[in-house]
Amino acid sequence: MKNILFVASEGVPFIKTGGLADVVGSLPKSIAKEYYDVRVVLPRYLCMKQEVKEQMEYITHFFMDFEDKQHYVGLLQANYCGVQYYFIDNEEFFQGNKPYGQDELQEIRKWVYFSKAVLSALPVLKFKPDLIHCHDWQTGMLPVYLKERFRAGEFYEKIKSVMTIHNLKFQGKWDVKTVQKITGLADFYFTPDKLEAYKDANLLKGGLVFADAITTVSKAYAQEIKTTFFGEGLEGLLQARSNDLRGIVNGIDYEEFNPEKDPAIEYPYNQITYRKEKLKNKKALQQELGLEVNDKRFMVGIVSRLTEQKGLDLIAYMMDEICQDDIQIVVLGTGETKYENMFRHFEWKYPEKVSANIYYSEALSHKVYAACDAFLMPSLFEPCGLSQLISLRYGTVPIVRETGGLIDTVDPYNQYENSGTGFSFKNYNAHEMLAALRYAEEIYYYKRREWNKIVDRGMLADYSWEVSAKKYQEMYDWLIGY
């Protein structure tokens, strides 16, 4: 039996702000329990829902030396879907009404404390991992500490570490002097080949330098981050470590996202019954959102954080032209004010064609996936992306830009080979996006049999966590050495 410890800043069902939480909530329960004992450590945030806190049971507490004084470390536990979760409790660091605060320096302090507390807690918990799987910059100090002050202890000497990049844009940077004081590390660690990057200390860089292996959330993104455009200043390091870097595409929870048993949708369906039942969901959503009720109208969904990364500039540029077509567009999400207002404006201008829902609702998102014919995702960059995987599962054809995880998971339609699960375009260009959208419309309106085959192939594709979990298991075995 091999012991694996996941360490992250969020995880479903305890706390969630983005896709990282889905990975941390779904992957551990998909790893083969007969070969691996997988456990997870998360912070115990004050802003967690009361019913979540009630599931936690106090284990013990101790005091840890941090920033030249003793800090409280509380330990709690809970079991979810057969996976043991531990929580690090400290009200000074994990207070506030959101998991992440605005004060960057306080964030650096919080995550350095968390990394040190996790390692200090292991002997207290009597759990010795063979491998610690760290997620994103918040856990970047963990591989550094593991090779520094904890290396001397017999308990820690053979523990390996893996660093997974979910989004390279966020790195945890601050000036060297301050970070050195917070971490207590010697000057030796703040050189350009270790934690220093462009005159600042960089926590993610530390994790990438000291981890035994690096993964990211799709094959294509693993290649992209070695280039200047996607590398966010760390492309040189990632090129240097390319033998230790692999891309493993994320999965989705096939229980949670299952059109046959989804409680959020009115008319459940599967790959055989979708032709009739999906149309009923479409009419129900049109009615709910005040759009013209017409099941023959081409309906496109966008469920997204409304940020520049998601390619919304392209949509803004082409929206007037798109709305000249026989089309309906349903938007759900929140984000930057300019994009929120852009969609509100087009709803005002084309009320029968555009529905802008500038808020977030899990139930409505499921309805959008179930009702729409196509799903638009023209991202500037996309490490993995989950929306296109959910769309495929619900028989909603993705229209995507060829980047990151979107390349790996959406097979572009080829009319000559009778293949493909969606439509794609290569360059970050509004006219190319419009051409891909109109090509999809053309197939939908004039070649319905072809369209149905695209839907069939998409619904048969397997992007469940079980597939990804096997690839992670291979990596764990390779690292641990048996």
Q: Average pLDDT, stretch 28-53?
A: 96
Q: Average pLDDT, stretch 213-224?
A: 96
Q: Residue 41 pairs with which residues in a beta bridge?
A: 7, 86
468 phi, psi to nearest 5 deg: -65, -40
> Across all residues in the chain, what is the average pLDDT?
95
Asked if residue 17 has pLDDT above 90, the reply is no
192 phi, psi to nearest 5 deg: -60, -20
CB 254 within 8 A of CB 464: yes
In this prediction, residue 153 carries a pLDDT of 77
Least confident of 98-102, 207-211, 222-226: 98-102
Retrieve residue 320's tokens. 């007037």
Asked if residue 123 has pLDDT above 90, the reply is yes
CB 10 within 8 A of CB 21: yes
Helices (H), ranges, 185-273: 203-210, 219-224, 228-231, 235-240
414 phi, psi to nearest 5 deg: -125, 110
CB 117 within 8 A of CB 94: no
Retrieve residue 319's tokens. 């929206």
Residues with Cβ within 8 Å of 454's Cβ and at least 6 positions away in sequence, in order, are 397, 413, 420, 421, 422, 443
CA-to-CA separations, 402 to 19, 23, 290, in angstroms, rounded: 20, 22, 33
In 273-373, the DSSP E strands lie at 298-303, 327-332, 354-357
Dist CA 312 CA 318 (whole Å): 10
CB 135 within 8 A of CB 8: yes
DSSP-derived pairing of the beta strands 36-43 and 354-357: unpaired
Asked if residue 69 has pLDDT above 70, the reply is yes
pLDDT confidence band for 269 (50 / 70 / 90):
very high
CB 12 within 8 A of CB 243: no
In this prediction, residue 19 carries a pLDDT of 83
Q: Which residue bears the tokens 């050195």? A: 180
Helix H or strand E encompassing 354: strand 354-357
- Number of CB atoms found within 10 A of residue 128's CB: 13
pLDDT confidence band for 83 (50 / 70 / 90):
very high
Q: Average pLDDT, stretch 220-228?
A: 97
CB 473 within 8 A of CB 31: yes
Rg value, the chain, Cα:
23
Asked if residue 268 has pLDDT above 70, the reply is yes
Q: Average pLDDT, stretch 364-393?
A: 96
- DSSP state at residue 304: S
pLDDT tens profile 282-300: 999 999 999 999 999 999 9
Listed residue (56, 50, 47) closest to 10, CA to CA: 47
CB 220 within 8 A of CB 407: yes
In this prediction, residue 482 carries a pLDDT of 64
Using a pLDDT cut of 90, give the percent of the chain over it.
95
The order of strands in the sheet holding 397-401 is 354-357, 327-332, 298-303, 374-377, 397-401, 423-425
Q: Average pLDDT, stretch 14-26?
A: 90
Domains of the chain: 2-251+466-480 (3.40.50.2000), 274-462 (3.40.50.2000)
Question: How much helix, strand and coil, in percent to the nearest 5, is found in the chain?
Answer: 40, 20, 35
Helix H or strand E encompassing 106: helix 104-125
Q: Residue 329 pairs with which residues in a beta bridge?
A: 300, 354
DSSP-derived pairing of the beta strands 160-165 and 397-401: unpaired
pLDDT tens profile 421-480: 999 999 999 999 999 999 999 999 999 999 999 999 999 999 999 999 999 999 999 999
CB 155 within 8 A of CB 123: yes
CA-to-CA separations, 78 to 5, 13, 14, 81, in angstroms, rounded: 15, 11, 10, 10
Helix H or strand E encompassing 401: strand 397-401
Q: Which residue bears the tokens 């690090």? A: 88
SS3 for 80-99 is ECCEEEEEEECCCCCCCCCC
Q: Average pLDDT, stretch 19-39?
A: 94
In this prediction, residue 85 carries a pLDDT of 98
Q: Which residue bears the tokens 């990364």? A: 309
Dist CA 350 CA 356 (whole Å): 11
pLDDT tens profile 162-209: 999 999 999 999 999 999 999 999 999 999 999 999 999 999 999 999
